[in-house]
């Protein structure tokens, strides 16, 4: 599989349960510059709801989201 969206930083949160994928992504976004893209890989099904809500509340942009055989990928653009 090729990357759907170019990204600046990749975070592999595979194997972590809610809320750890979101917390780790938030910490990573705090270190990034505005406009940078973070790719997150997660295996927790609850991450779909978490990331959709998070970007809406925090003002970031969810550029793309993929679900392939229980592996979830998100591309978040920092506000």
Just list the catalytic residues. Answer: 18
Closest CA to 41 of 78, 69, 79: 69
Task: Please answer whether residues 25 and 11 qualify as being in contact, where contact means their C-beta atoms are separated by less than 8 angstroms.
Answer: yes
Q: Rounded to 5 degrees, what angle do the CA atoms 53, 15, 3 make?
A: 70
């Amino acid at each position: 599989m090729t990357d759907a969206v170019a990204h600046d930083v990749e975070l592999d949160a595979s194997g972590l349960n809610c809320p750890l994928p979101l917390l780790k992504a938030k910490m990573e976004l705090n270190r990034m510059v505005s406009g940078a893209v973070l790719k997150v890989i997660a295996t927790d099904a609850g991450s779909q709801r978490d990331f959709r809500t998070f970007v809406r509340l925090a003002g970031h942009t969810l550029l793309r989201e993929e679900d392939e055989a229980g592996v979830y990928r998100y591309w978040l653009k920092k506000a």
